[in-house]
Structure 1
């Protein structure tokens, strides 16, 4: 009896599916291009795009339809059609040995030196981030893939005038975060259209390294970002099934952790675990993007107005509820419940500030481990030890999946409860300044940027501009520095923006200001923070001018 013919199994003639490399507009040569984008790799990428690209586009249109309903008054909730999943007994497949103990994971961009330092940091895992911590220049994306190949082959080294960088004897386990479903890789086309950046990033890593990593239990392992529905998770599962069959990897070898960093996905955690149950090991609290998604999803609802970002913490209201529901859901289904990012970095030449940064790390990680999280994230190698010590003190085992604890019942209403607090001139000023600083760095090719003692990524800029938009949209009361208050308006925004713009130009000097792409960054921030409709993602218009 013949197997049914489906889009995932139908063979496509090889001569028809070669992807085309169009390269950056700048015309600059990209190192390692021929080594990464081999003819066979391009065939594999084109096959992925032709099989799964159409469904990706349908799911993206579904996002817009869902947002239209939210804008019209509907609130996020659990899907009615999946009650049988939530009410039945099942668990995800067991995690492999390399992902059993995940107490401290470090994240960072895919540049060579940062990867080596992350592997040697003492963390249990390292997430190489093609998404929020990397600026997606074509050179950066290709360098990251070349670094992955060298890591897999034991050749990831680097030599400078000062020292040689090599990976030590007990490196962190590699996980790779591809870009999200909403993003495209414009430098590679299939049938004349840019291919999915998600399929590009994941496909190249699997093609070059999947078999070798699977042979010795090192992978291939992934983090999946910015999912909004279980249907999007199911598409990833289809990709995994096809890739494993194509490459001769045993089904179920690919393992993924899903970042719950959108508000709609937080109401579908069980469904996401279920559709990926052969391939998933856990969920992660992607809390910075989650704040952005909360604002974006509920943008038309004044009742969900948020205060200054500094007042929106994980210890209360919708963030606490989401963290606790994630823990309870994961443990009931045999999966890891990973905590969120601690963005603090060491502070040089200021002992008091440095001590405060480490104290914040320890307090945040103690909250997580006591709540039941099985592991956490840090952004800097120097913070690994503090996070590890905290988890070691409160989690003697490799995880807390089977630990007996009283799981609080988290209502859907609690998942939406906004933080109380104030909206201040200082908060507005910080959003504008930090947003512009980050976008300028991103346009200059850097995705992980130290700003005011924190390692910031794209989520920072998204929160910053979304908060400004929300405050403008609803005419929020802003407490001014002199103690008075003023209704948020384009006039108030313009005054603070002008002051921040001038201060940055004075601080950096005109030549550095222009060369660092600050004028472009400032224009882009204002466009995405003050437009009539809130743009879905800042990185989409930013990508259009990245290599212009």
Structure 2
């Protein structure tokens, strides 16, 4: 194993996490499963190539029909602390110590400890984040409750598309999720189990039941290595891809001893349609700011089917994250309007039968818990079997009607640029126009701009065609606002924002759609150089890029 030295200022954290025992454990974990990880990534490419060459559409798999038709199997019941999952806090990057401690002291049922969508995976952030989880589990935060009394930690490692650049095993960079999972389990798994508080995980961007099978094998291996009973590890799988929506039952089956249910969200899932079918005119996704929400048929069907499958199999079904930020003045009209908006959208999910969902703003925890108490009974809604429901492949693949607005195009451009700018600063999420934005909203934003350019879509406002030239022009127009949003006060800060804009224009003009924005950035010289400069104490964001 090769390991980079500690970033400046994190020497104590580095020594705590990277012990001789933990490094041996991680080396064995990676050596055992590295080939399987490569295989599932190659299968993703093969599957996408088949869809492109054949023009086929996904459907319910004939090979696994016996799993779906067998009414007898159920997932193993979850521990008591997971029975009530009404409100979790989402996008909680554990490297943010202050917010992490605040959330530990909140009345939420759970915390999504996010090394993925809401986190920028710099070496500093990964070490600090794992160390903060270590401190929480070992009850080392003086102003936080003991881990057995705090909200449960739902640990979310990076997805399979991410690698850890600072660590190599047998001459290869380590898969990001194995790095995160391995260190978290080695240092915290046994303590969490003994305190009846885990270990619980979120699994991001799983695309097939074969990937769920790989995770299950990883869990079994880890339980055996650490002396934990089979089924100790529990995981909620985020169904963030249109292909996995056709394999939800099989995913539960593969993880049935380790399942904590499935989760449905809106933006990563919607972006996956562009990822898999974006070059097809029939899958042109309209303006998300006007025409895409959970009430549309393709999203409502996905949520309904997820709830039906989970409850039929004895699993929990959870919804997405409310990204809205509440204004500070609780007596103001904007506060009431924001709360009413979140309430309307989350009530739709409760009535669909979900057992819980996430919020970002800690001020939304108690209002949303009260909403659950008013409109549901008991710890969860698993008694709602939704037997009246029939969802067809056509329902899941039905694109909503609608066009593209100038507002929506400029909004998507702004979110994409601001996300890249945040990454160049080492941040995984940011605030824009009253809500939190992370990699999920960045993915849908850049996906839509790429697709609208590809299909030369017309704007509703004035019939202009969305072209590279128009997107470049609009990018120049929004830069004034973005300088204010990012508080650019120096030439170097302005240069960093211009660099982010140039990178955004690069990614939306690619001939072939980059599968994940985060992968693209994580392999990009500009991002890697900015982090190297940060660790060396240099200036971030002064790497030149093409001018706008």
Q: Same fold (TM over 0.5)?
A: yes
| Match in the other structure for 1:301 | 280
| Match in the other structure for 2:440 | 459
State how many pairs are aligned: 519
In structure 2, C-alpha distance between the alignment counterparts of 1:497 and 1:422, rounded to whole Å: 20
In structure 1, C-alpha distance between the alignment counterparts of 2:504 and 2:5, rounded to whole Å: 27
Please say if 1:151 is aligned against 2:136.
yes
Cα displacement (A) at 1:390: 0.9
The equivalences for 1:186-205 within 5 A come to 186-205=165-184
Contact 1:328 1:407 in 2 (8 A): no
Please say if 1:74 is aligned against 2:46.
no
Q: TM-score by structure 2 length? A: 0.91
In structure 1, C-alpha distance between the alignment counterparts of 2:243 and 2:160, rounded to whole Å: 15
Closer/same/farther in 2, CA of residues 506 and 365 from structure 1, 3 Å limit:
closer
Please say if 1:500 is aligned against 2:483.
no
Match of 1:135 among 117, 120, 123: 120
Cα displacement (A) at 1:124: 0.7
| Match in the other structure for 1:90 | 73
Please say if 1:340 is aligned against 2:320.
yes
Cα displacement (A) at 1:514: 2.5
Cα displacement (A) at 1:479: 2.4
The equivalences for 1:113-124 within 5 A come to 113-124=98-109
Closer/same/farther in 2, CA of residues 153 and 515 from structure 1, 3 Å limit:
farther
Cα displacement (A) at 1:520: 2.3
Closer/same/farther in 2, CA of residues 405 and 509 from structure 1, 3 Å limit:
closer
Of stretches 85-94 and 444-453 in structure 1, the one that deviates more from structure 2 is 444-453
In structure 2, C-alpha distance between the alignment counterparts of 1:526 and 1:207, rounded to whole Å: 41
In structure 2, C-alpha distance between the alignment counterparts of 1:382 and 1:353, rounded to whole Å: 14
In structure 2, C-alpha distance between the alignment counterparts of 1:166 and 1:490, rounded to whole Å: 51
Please say if 1:49 is aligned against 2:27.
no
Of stretches 228-237 and 418-427 in structure 1, the one that deviates more from structure 2 is 418-427
Where does the alignment leave 5 or more consecutive residues of structure 1 unmatched? 1-18, 158-164
Contact 1:504 1:513 in 2 (8 A): no
Of stretches 505-514 and 443-452 in structure 1, the one that deviates more from structure 2 is 505-514
Any idea what the Cα deviations from partners look like across 1:441-467, whole Å, max 9, x if unmatched?
122111121111111111111111100
Cα displacement (A) at 1:51: 0.7
Any idea what the Cα deviations from partners look like across 1:41-87, whole Å, max 9, x if unmatched?
11111111111111111110111111112223111212221011001
Closer/same/farther in 2, CA of residues 415 and 181 from structure 1, 3 Å limit:
same
Cα displacement (A) at 1:404: 5.5
Cα displacement (A) at 1:216: 2.1
In structure 2, C-alpha distance between the alignment counterparts of 1:29 and 1:516, rounded to whole Å: 28
In structure 1, C-alpha distance between the alignment counterparts of 2:369 and 2:345, rounded to whole Å: 12
Of stretches 380-389 and 486-495 in structure 1, the one that deviates more from structure 2 is 486-495
Cα displacement (A) at 1:504: 3.0
Closer/same/farther in 2, CA of residues 70 and 300 from structure 1, 3 Å limit:
farther
Please say if 1:369 is aligned against 2:353.
no
Contact 1:178 1:225 in 2 (8 A): yes
In structure 2, C-alpha distance between the alignment counterparts of 1:262 and 1:404, rounded to whole Å: 24
What is the RMSD of the two structures over their aligned residues, measured on CA atoms?
1.8
In structure 1, C-alpha distance between the alignment counterparts of 2:480 and 2:360, rounded to whole Å: 31
In structure 2, C-alpha distance between the alignment counterparts of 1:474 and 1:513, rounded to whole Å: 36
The equivalences for 1:140-539 within 5 A come to 140-157=125-142, 165-167=143-145, 170-310=149-289, 311-348=291-328, 351-403=332-384, 405-480=386-461, 484-505=462-483, 508-509=487-488, 511=490, 514=493, 517-539=496-518
Cα displacement (A) at 1:177: 0.2
In structure 2, C-alpha distance between the alignment counterparts of 1:344 and 1:154, rounded to whole Å: 31
Contact 2:327 2:334 in 1 (8 A): yes
Contact 1:31 1:143 in 2 (8 A): no
Cα displacement (A) at 1:39: 1.2
In structure 1, C-alpha distance between the alignment counterparts of 2:496 and 2:3, rounded to whole Å: 27
Cα displacement (A) at 1:241: 0.3
In structure 1, C-alpha distance between the alignment counterparts of 2:137 and 2:159, rounded to whole Å: 24
Cα displacement (A) at 1:306: 1.3
Contact 2:308 2:386 in 1 (8 A): no
Closer/same/farther in 2, CA of residues 67 and 141 from structure 1, 3 Å limit:
same
Cα displacement (A) at 1:170: 4.0
Cα displacement (A) at 1:519: 2.1
Q: TM-score by structure 1 length? A: 0.91
In structure 2, C-alpha distance between the alignment counterparts of 1:297 and 1:225, rounded to whole Å: 17
In structure 2, C-alpha distance between the alignment counterparts of 1:132 and 1:441, rounded to whole Å: 13
Cα displacement (A) at 1:403: 3.0
Any idea what the Cα deviations from partners look like across 1:110-145, whole Å, max 9, x if unmatched?
122111111222111111001111111111111111
Closer/same/farther in 2, CA of residues 348 and 209 from structure 1, 3 Å limit:
same
Of stretches 374-383 and 519-528 in structure 1, the one that deviates more from structure 2 is 519-528
Closer/same/farther in 2, CA of residues 27 and 150 from structure 1, 3 Å limit:
closer
In structure 2, C-alpha distance between the alignment counterparts of 1:238 and 1:206, rounded to whole Å: 15
In structure 2, C-alpha distance between the alignment counterparts of 1:336 and 1:460, rounded to whole Å: 25
| Match in the other structure for 2:97 | 112
Closer/same/farther in 2, CA of residues 516 and 361 from structure 1, 3 Å limit:
farther
In structure 1, C-alpha distance between the alignment counterparts of 2:5 and 2:459, rounded to whole Å: 46
